Amino acid sequence: MESQFPILQIMDCNGQIVSPMYKEKITEDIVKNFYKQLLRIRLFDRKAVSLQRQGRIGTYAPFEGQEAAQVGSALALEPADWMFPTYRDHGAAFVFGHSLRNILLFWNGRNEGCVPPSGKRIFPPGIPIATQIPHAVGAALGEKIKGSNHAAIAYFGDGATSEGDFHEGLNFASVIKAPVVFFNQNNQYAISVPIEKQMNTKTIAQKALAYDIPSVRLDGNDVFIVYFETLKALERARKGEGPTLIEAVTWRYGAHTTADDPSKYRDQIESNNRRVETDPLLRLERWLKNEGLYEENWIRQIESDANQEIELAIAEMEAFPKANPADIFDYVFAEPTWQINQQKEEYLRLIGGEDKCIRR
């Protein structure tokens, strides 16, 4: 099966274009634009880990190493498309237009973090594994019924493909030809369980055969193959040709979340080697160097811009009004039930009333 699903690449680890048909499309502009996005989310991810260490946010799920998969796929979307991310896909959500402040609020235990900016169709991060896949199918079915040309993208990891919701989602989407892209980031570990213990198949892409939907396996650290293949899948969806499964093979350098230690379940030398050899940002730097376009000043400038943006978002997150206890009661139903009203009144009376809490 592995030979039926080769790992496709446009730019290899040395920054060489290995698919000649894309040679003209890989211009200085596109490389610099993609590099900027990769850097933005990498800097954010590192900063978030450090915020967690300092106790300024809660448990955090880092994605360092997976930036190309997230940036390439998110940039392929049209503004009115739907995004159904997991808890590790806030890089993609950010690139697609989510608010950085709200992403930080989410990691700091606030419901406000699940609210996308006005007009952005981004679902809250899926926490129970694979459950967001049927949601994406439903939203896509809605677009099909409306006769629009919008599509949906569902993100999920390798472990998610063992869940029923993955299979139910792919099967249903295939039957109804839903305009949806199933975007898998195969980082080869589900917390501590390596892919060989997760599945007996050598690829995730081959699972699409069972549903008779097209699939492709690609180098998830090559932002260009991710971008162009996602674009292709979205085009199929928009033309009414139904769903596609994309397997982006990648690697997370760090822990599953800030609450675990990866050295307990794998040799981190592998991660260190990958940082040098297959890193999504380094290969773009290598391309720039090969082409004589690498400018230290430009890199420093975009780094400083990104850091400024991140610091601003952190300041906004930290200046955000304290959690209002009334909120936990007020958003369960459109109109709270008498039970919820009673519990709210009694609790607020006990703690000295809502007035003592800072309102937004």
Active site residue 252: yes
CB 283 within 8 A of CB 291: no
Given the complex with other proteins, which of 214 and 336 has the nearer CB atom?
Answer: 336
Of the candidate spans 13-21, 215-223, 304-312, 323-331, the one that interacts with other proteins by CB under 8 A turns out to be 323-331
Count of positions on this chain that bind other proteins (CB under 8 A):
43
Helices 28-53/100-107 angle, 10° precision: 30
Compute the least distance from the CB of residue 298 to other proteins, in Å.
Answer: 38
Distance of CA 100 to the CA centre of its chain: 13
Q: Which residues pair with 183 in a beta bridge?
A: 155, 246
Amino acid making up residue 10: I
143 touches other proteins (CB under 8 A): yes
Residues 292-311, one symbol each (x = binds other proteins by CB under 8 A, - = not), give: --------------------
Residues 87 and 76: their CA atoms lie apart, in Å, by: 20
Minimal CA–CA distance to 65: which of 311, 253, 285, 305?
A: 253
140 touches other proteins (CB under 8 A): yes
115 touches other proteins (CB under 8 A): yes
Given the complex with other proteins, which of 121 and 202 has the nearer CB atom?
Answer: 121
Minimal CA–CA distance to 149: which of 118, 179, 175?
A: 179
80 touches other proteins (CB under 8 A): no
Of the candidate spans 142-150, 182-190, 286-294, 307-315, the one that interacts with other proteins by CB under 8 A turns out to be 142-150
Compute the least distance from the CB of residue 208 to other proteins, in Å.
Answer: 16
User: Within positions 147 to 166, which residues make up the interface with other proteins, using CB under 8 A?
Assistant: 152, 164-165
Minimal CA–CA distance to 166: which of 139, 203, 209, 131?
A: 131
Minimal CA–CA distance to 104: which of 326, 296, 316?
A: 316
Pick from 19, 149, 171, 257 the residue near other proteins by CB under 8 A. Answer: 171
| Residue 196: burial class (beta carbons within 10 Å; 0-12, 13-18, 19+) | exposed
Question: Which positions lie near other proteins, rule CB under 8 A?
Answer: 82, 111-112, 114-116, 123-124, 127-128, 131, 133-143, 145-146, 152, 164-165, 168-169, 171-172, 175-176, 327-328, 331-334, 337-340
Point out the residues that are catalytic.
Answer: 252, 256, 265
